[in-house]
Structure 1
Amino acid sequence: MSRLRRLALLAAAAALPALGLTLAGQATASAAPNFQVPFKCGVTVDAATFSGHKPEYSVDFQKAGITGMPVLAAASGTVTRVEDKGATSYGKWIEVDHGGGWRTRYAHLSAQEVSVGASVAGGREIGKAGATGGVTGPHLHFEEILDGTVQKAKLNGVGVPYYAHTDFTSKNNCGGNPYSAEEVCGDGFGVVDQQALANSAGTAYLLYNASTKANCVTTLKATSLGTASAVSAFLEVQGAARTTDSGSFTYYAGPVKKTAGSTCVKWGGSVGADTYESGFEHCD
């Protein structure tokens, strides 16, 4: 193979990640949804994990009197399976597809309340906990699956400990955005400014990472949570082009990140028709 040919192939390969592809032509894995505890807001359950549990990394939610308790979708998605194995295996169970290769499963249900093809918002009741299938006692078996493989579970951004019994209190469908600006922008970022949008539609945030000198903007929705609707976030370093993330999103737009150092920035965002745009500020 000629040197020019090799260089061309290397350049093409380097461009693939920006397109969301691998050399095999497959989409790269997307970030996990912000999965929530699959019970009503305020309910505390024991997230039990066991060495040798099958599938590995699945979680058994346990609680006194759990039979008949409403089970909620851990994130928005589409119902792909509603099955009943009788007195074996999962018993009555449901699977929800969240996009990007991510799915969740809910097993040993006493009741199933959705049908295949149904679109469910995060926090919607999909069934009731029980003890169907091959179990020794009532509990909810739960899995977070990426491309067919069960992953270590995270609930509201917190990793479930393996192997342990850990109490988690549900924030599912509590009426607020389940994300924080710091979660969206990532480690090292702290809020330096924020602006509530008109009509309580949401809030635009400006964050800063002192170690990297990077700015980050995100707009968190406060309305139509869990349902895709118009939202945007933008960041403009003085003297450079503006970068905007806009589209139909379920919880937030962004993160939009740019390094500015001591250069002034203009930032803001929108939810629906309600917008905010700062002047050039935060110059030092």
Structure 2
Amino acid sequence: MRLNTIAAAGIGLLVGIGGLAVGGGTAVAEPNFQLPFPCAQTWEGQTRTGHSPANAVDFNRANDEGDAVVAASSGTVSRVANEGSTSYGRWIEINHGGGWTTRYAHLSAQRVSVGQGVSTGQTIGNVGNTGGSTGAHLHYEQRLNGAAVRAKFNGTTALYWGTKSYKSTNGCGGGSGNPYDAEQVCGSGYEVVDSAALGTKGRVYLTYNSGNGNNCAVTMKHTKLGTASASSAFLEVEGAARSTDSGSYAYYAGPVRKAAPGKCVKWGGSVDSETYTSRFEHCG
């Protein structure tokens, strides 16, 4: 786990009661915060008493620099700042109402602007190594009335203190209305290992079958369900030709399956004009 030290201005005093901060405002019901990463991604989250603020969470996974960071809950962007080579570096704050905010620091890129409304699971930036950081990771905070509180993900409080593996359920298709899911389309034994949103129109998934060693890419539509419309899914093994399933489909494009022993894969897809292409990743 690569660590960092934060000395950001404006960090308030925390007085903890049952995981909520008591300060200048009245405690209110918190949003249903999700992990700040796309559906099905697994990240190691670390908390430690020497962190500043102590209730922040540092997230890492292998080769994570440049990975997408998404909104943990819907809200309005309240800060997009750059502290240079100190403190948070490039960071974003989202106001979720009722005194609740989230902060995302050490970003390599910021993809939203102040005043912009964002939805849960929307990409807001990319993991980086800016500011007072000693290696690429995401520094994440949940705050109430200006004070950092113990983070919760999908209603469960994070581990304090130590390191824990978390699997994101952020944007996993709940409420999409599609009667199919990625694992069902790819077939028995496949489990989702990564995904990316295609705006509000769909989501592309990468799944893996540990039994036969095959990867599978599939794009699930969230709009125009039951009506044939342009959709695609592709999978490319490093050093080999890309395989693509593209056409007019009612519910999904794919599945596209490939074995990639000892190699990295590039995956992606599209629904109408919304597209996604990964870098080469998920190696091995």
Which TM class, normalised by the smaller chain length? 0.5 to 0.7
Shift of 1:47: 0.8
User: 2: CA distance between counterparts of 1:121 and 1:98?
Assistant: 10
Match of 2:242 in 1: none
Shift of 1:155: 0.5
SS for the counterpart of 1:109 is: coil
Shift of 1:27: 6.2
Per-residue CA distance 1:219-277 (angstroms, 9 max, x = gap): xxxx99xxxxxxxxxxxxxxxxxxxxxxxxxxxxxxxxxxxxxxxxxxxxxxxxxxxxx
User: 2: CA distance between counterparts of 1:36 and 1:115?
Assistant: 21
In the TM superposition, structure 1's runs of 4+ consecutive aligned residues that sit over 6 Å from their partners are: none
User: 2: CA distance between counterparts of 1:150 and 1:29?
Assistant: 13
Match of 1:98 in 2: 96
SS for the counterpart of 2:107 is: strand
User: 1: CA distance between counterparts of 2:25 and 2:80?
Assistant: 27
Shift of 1:57: 0.4
Structure of larger gyration radius: 1
Match of 1:39 in 2: 37
Greater relative contact order, per chain length (Cα 8 Å cut-off, separation 6+): 2
User: 1: CA distance between counterparts of 2:148 and 2:117?
Assistant: 22
Q: Where in structure 1 are there 5+ consecutive unaligned residues?
A: 1-25, 179-222, 225-284
2:66 to 55, 65, 68: 68
Size of the aligned set, in residue pairs, is 155
TM-score, normalised with respect to structure 1: 0.53
Per-residue CA distance 1:122-148 (angstroms, 9 max, x = gap): 110000001000111110000000001
Match of 1:142 in 2: 140
Shift of 1:29: 2.1
Question: Would you tell me which structure has more helix in proportion to its own residues?
Answer: 1
User: 2: CA distance between counterparts of 1:27 and 1:87?
Assistant: 33
User: 1: CA distance between counterparts of 2:50 and 2:100?
Assistant: 23
Shift of 1:46: 0.5
SS for the counterpart of 1:133 is: coil
Shift of 1:158: 1.0
SS for the counterpart of 1:78 is: strand
Indicate if the aligned counterparts of 2:56 and 2:141 stay in contact, CA closer than 8 A: yes
Indicate if the aligned counterparts of 2:90 and 2:131 stay in contact, CA closer than 8 A: yes
User: 2: CA distance between counterparts of 1:115 and 1:65?
Assistant: 27
Residue identity (%): 52
Match of 1:4 in 2: none
Q: What amino acid sits opposite 2:55 in the alignment?
A: Y
Shift of 1:84: 0.5
Shift of 1:76: 0.1
Per-residue CA distance 1:95-152 (angstroms, 9 max, x = gap): 0000000000000000000000000001100000010001111100000000011000
Per-residue CA distance 1:165-193 (angstroms, 9 max, x = gap): 00110001111059xxxxxxxxxxxxxxx
Q: What amino acid sits opposite 1:41 in the alignment?
A: C
1:157 to 152, 155, 158: 155
Match of 2:27 in 1: 29
User: 1: CA distance between counterparts of 2:96 and 2:128?
Assistant: 24
TM-score, normalised with respect to structure 2: 0.53
